[in-house]
Structure 1
Amino acid sequence: MASAPRPLPWILFGAFGTAALLGLGFWLDPVWWLMWLAPIPMLTAVPRLGFWAALLTAEAAWLGGTARIWAYLADSLETPPAFVIASAAVLTGLYTAATLLYRLLIRRGRHWTAFFAFPAGVVAVEYAGSLINADAGGEWWSLAYTQAGQTAILQLASVTGVWGITYLLTALPTAAATILAPGSEPRRGLGIAGVAAACLAAALVWGVARPADQGPTIRAGALALPAHADSLRIDTEEGEELFADYTRHIENIGARNDLDVLVLSEKIFHVTAEETGPYLDRWSDLAVRARIDLVLGLALDVGGDTYNAAVWIPSNGHQPATYFKQHLVPGLEDWMTASDTGPASIPGVGGGWSMTVCKDLDHAATMAEYGDEDFGLVLAPALDFGVDGWWHSRVAVTRGVEQGFSLVRAGQMGLMTVSDASGTVLAEDERFVVAEVPTGPVGTIYDRFGNWFLMPVIAALLGAVVLALVPRRDAERRVAPSTRTETDAP
């Protein structure tokens, strides 16, 4: 009789191995290539463990690997602790369920189904999270953004949104674990490896060949000067000093550079309804003197409410245009009012331009309106929280790939980022950048068909659940002798 394997080494390998890789790979400044390995220890371990040991391994791996993100939400964003705890519990539970489904399928001898099921389960968890947290987070939470610096992979977002990138990112390590799983056969392993390699090759070919001609270019910049706080009152000494600093910098930029548009950061000043007209006139005079169109982030009082606004101030002295932020940060922006007016069109070279504000770029459905209206350039005041500068800018860059627009984004405590419709970062710095940026829109499959990729993913997941509940007659004979423990269950 074959001796039962010791579970502790597999528990430690699966839990700590994946938690360590995930903790470094799924982070605000990720080690991107680790994500292509992260699930392997966990997926290798769980088919070799009893149910309760596998449950513990999966929960420890997912919770440990995402712990830094939860800490960031609680600390930097001041998210209520109850919300963080509940969200961590729900997402960890769902990720664990996807892992246990993989385990059960392997133990049923359904290796092909397991190979497709685990990536589908991870995508389904991300989608469920975007629905549960639709107002506050949108599509902010996704493994896909860890690959935002890899332009060839990022092009997949123009077809499938972030869902296809997450699927590919988890499918390759799933293939490796499935080939190594108990009961795996050489011919089946070769087939799984071939499908995984073909998917990666197809994504890379599309990433290299994707047409993204955006036509004419302009010189665009982003600027954020140091400030002790956001939403400074303009009638205070500190507010006047900061306005004077911006005036000097913008006049100097106008004298040195042939700059067409300059984006400033989010809610720099708080302006009352009575102050709005005269104050915007001061900025309009500055735009005319510098010969630069400006986009200014303000907290504006309008009709008894305070809105988080992006204000377009043209250099020809014409009337400003205003966009109000639609998705506010829970807790930190509870004193403001969300808008539902949609994007604001502004005139520009090469087609329509528009504005948005920071967190609105976390929401794929909101930004789909920009793709529908064929905006080729989006100008975005933003704030950020220091540690999340890379991550939040890359979430925004990914929206540009999905909807086919260039982006100029100014993150006050993050990064100044200029990118094109392929997600190529044309310029980036902590305080000031200038770049030649194309302004024409690029049509994308994702803009036209939306979340179409979720349909086959959810169908595959539901099919896998059904097959997992139906044991194969030869599964126990092929898998059980080398893997079962005395307390084991399928």
Structure 2
Amino acid sequence: MQLGKSFKNIINSYKWSNFYSLLHCIFTIFLSAVSYYLSTEYWYFSWITLLLLCTYALKGSLVSTFLTGFFSYLFGSCNPHAVLPLAVYWPLLVINATAFASVLAIFRHIAVRWRGGYASLVFASGLTAYEFIASLYSPHGAVNSIAYTQVSNLSFIQIASITGIWGITFLMALLPSSIALTYHYPQNRRLSIKANLISLSLLLFVILFGFYRLHTPVEGANIKIGIASISTNLEQYLVVATNRDKQQVADTIQRYIQKIDLLAQSGAEVVLLPEKIITIETHDDNFQHLSNAAQKNKVNLIVGVTRKDKMKLYNSSYVFSPLGEVLLEYDKKHLLSAFESRYTPGTDLGIIDKWGIGICKDMDFTQPSLDYSRQGVNIVFVPALDFHDDGWSHARVAIMRGVEGNYAVARAGQWGLLTLSDSRGRIIEMVSSDVEDGGSVLVGEVRLGKGNSIYSKLGDSFAWICLGTFIILCFFLSLRKPNELLTKP
């Protein structure tokens, strides 16, 4: 009888234990997903997300840690400001969620089994290594990095001029995981000191370097730039882009010429227009109208067009001089496969004097942006399109490329944002272009950068070091017996 009661109590205790474990898991997923969701707009939420997940990982099982990491990343990435509609984006989203959850599970396994300070280093190097490898093979480049959530955290992101975004990701993962280890093992003072001394020292260095770079005067000249877009819906845009209605095409060109006139009157030396505003065949009437507008207003005009060359289509950008001459013709290198399969990708850099050209998705990749920095480019102009709600997600990536490359960035998103930022990532001007009436204009004066960033010279060395560190640590720890580190934390 007594034995039966004891057995029943054990069963009930087990059930309640499982219930609370499940509740803890669900609650962590909810908080982490919401926090990561909000990190698109508020940089500090991404730190909170990583701290919540690392703390949970040290308490939960290996399976629950993986599932919590997976669903937190998956749901948190469903922000409407994501780079692409989910129907197109979901396979990569699942892969990224799986990779993130796997690195989190490895962190948990090492920390619980060996209780060593190596766990935070494994987590940071592993997450950074995955983002880097994914950027080499993903059709979307490096756009999925958590580093972009920090664009508004100016002093922190300056390290990108040395390490690229990989240094940002590394420290974002290192500090929360170190804090989680300290919280979980409060009695282990040696572990606390080891885990936090490195991460806090690195954070202090990064912040001090950031303050130094932000307050060091930029030696480049100033340039006044005008950026414009006109209001149009998708149906109108497609009609004009394919030249199906000559009158609509003429009206579109005329509306843009009015914007060019307005910006020139405001003192703009350079006018930037969005991506694929019309279709052009070599030196046709549409081409001539744009050339005449540049000549009439004595401005450099940079415009994104669909360029038809015989049987091929190119997503191109023309740079017109104040005399109406074509200084540069650049073809987009990184096409959006879901929507631009009929276009032929470009192969060459777009450099005129010290100006570089990138078109929309080109900025999602470290190349050609890094090559521009190596060539001493001081500003990159970016005609772009965007998909309404994702304007900031695209704009912040371009801003980060400017910090990495030490150059200013001017970006014209048709259905997103018009932005002008300097080589430190400071936003000089920003205006929404996703409007229904009239369109949008921006005029701002920005100091040019100098290019030749440290990152452009070192390349992705830091990312490769992270990959090597992750592999070596995992291999080394797999050969050690758990009690070897238990006695020597």
Q: Establish whether TM, by shorter chain, passes 0.5.
A: yes
Distance in 1 (CA, whole Å) between partners of 2:297 and 2:450 is 28
Contact 1:288–1:315 at 8 Å: present in 2 too? Answer: yes
Distance in 2 (CA, whole Å) between partners of 1:248 and 1:50 is 63
- The aligned residue for residue 346 of structure 1 is 352
1:473 CA displacement: 1.9
**1:202-260 alpha-carbon deviations (Å, 9 max, x no partner):** 111111112462421110121111122335145522111111212222223323x1210
Structure-2 change in CA distance of 1:460 and 1:282 (3 Å): same
Distance in 2 (CA, whole Å) between partners of 1:433 and 1:8 is 56
- The aligned residue for residue 125 of structure 2 is 120
SS at match of 1:117: helix
1:33 CA displacement: 0.6
Selected match of 1:190 from 193, 196, 199: 193
Selected match of 1:377 from 362, 376, 379: 379
Selected match of 1:86 from 87, 91, 94: 91
**In terms of mean alpha carbon deviation, does 52-61 or 147-156 score higher?**
52-61
1:467 CA displacement: 4.0
SS at match of 1:223: strand
1:70 CA displacement: 10
- The aligned residue for residue 457 of structure 2 is 448
Selected match of 1:247 from 251, 254, 257: 257
Percent of residue pairs identical: 24
Structure-2 change in CA distance of 1:170 and 1:212 (3 Å): farther
- The aligned residue for residue 109 of structure 1 is 114
Contact 1:145–1:394 at 8 Å: present in 2 too? Answer: yes
Residue 259 (structure 1) aligned with residue 268 (structure 2): yes
Distance in 2 (CA, whole Å) between partners of 1:86 and 1:254 is 45
**1:313-359 alpha-carbon deviations (Å, 9 max, x no partner):** 1112333421110011111111211111222x224xxxx11222111
Alignment of 1:33-44 (within 5 A): 33-44=44-55
Query: Please, what is the CA RMSD of the aligned residues?
Result: 2.6
Distance in 1 (CA, whole Å) between partners of 2:387 and 2:312 is 25
Structure-2 change in CA distance of 1:145 and 1:15 (3 Å): farther
**1:278-317 alpha-carbon deviations (Å, 9 max, x no partner):** 3222112111222221111100101311101111111123
Residue identity opposite 1:39 in structure 2: L
Residue identity opposite 1:143 in structure 2: I
Distance in 2 (CA, whole Å) between partners of 1:376 and 1:478 is 52
- The aligned residue for residue 315 of structure 2 is 308
Selected match of 2:389 from 371, 387, 392: 387
Residue 460 (structure 1) aligned with residue 476 (structure 2): no
Contact 2:374–2:452 at 8 Å: present in 1 too? Answer: no
Alignment of 1:137-176 (within 5 A): 137-176=140-179
- The aligned residue for residue 272 of structure 1 is 281
SS at match of 1:364: coil
- The aligned residue for residue 483 of structure 2 is 473
Which stretches of structure 1, 4 residues or longer, exceed 4 Å deviation after superposition?
2-5, 69-72, 474-479
TM-score by length of 1: 0.87
- The aligned residue for residue 297 of structure 1 is 304
Structure-2 change in CA distance of 1:477 and 1:314 (3 Å): closer
- The aligned residue for residue 5 of structure 2 is none
Selected match of 2:208 from 205, 209, 212: 205
- The aligned residue for residue 403 of structure 2 is 401
Residue identity opposite 1:346 in structure 2: I
1:85 CA displacement: 4.5
Structure-2 change in CA distance of 1:477 and 1:453 (3 Å): closer
Distance in 1 (CA, whole Å) between partners of 2:194 and 2:157 is 26
Residue identity opposite 1:419 in structure 2: S
Contact 1:295–1:313 at 8 Å: present in 2 too? Answer: yes
**1:394-427 alpha-carbon deviations (Å, 9 max, x no partner):** 1011111111111111000011111111111111
Contact 1:15–1:41 at 8 Å: present in 2 too? Answer: no
Contact 1:104–1:468 at 8 Å: present in 2 too? Answer: no
Distance in 1 (CA, whole Å) between partners of 2:325 and 2:120 is 59
- The aligned residue for residue 425 of structure 1 is 427
Contact 2:281–2:287 at 8 Å: present in 1 too? Answer: no
Distance in 2 (CA, whole Å) between partners of 1:212 and 1:443 is 16
1:440 CA displacement: 4.2
Distance in 1 (CA, whole Å) between partners of 2:21 and 2:136 is 34
TM-score by length of 2: 0.87
1:443 CA displacement: 2.8
Distance in 2 (CA, whole Å) between partners of 1:197 and 1:477 is 25
1:195 CA displacement: 2.2
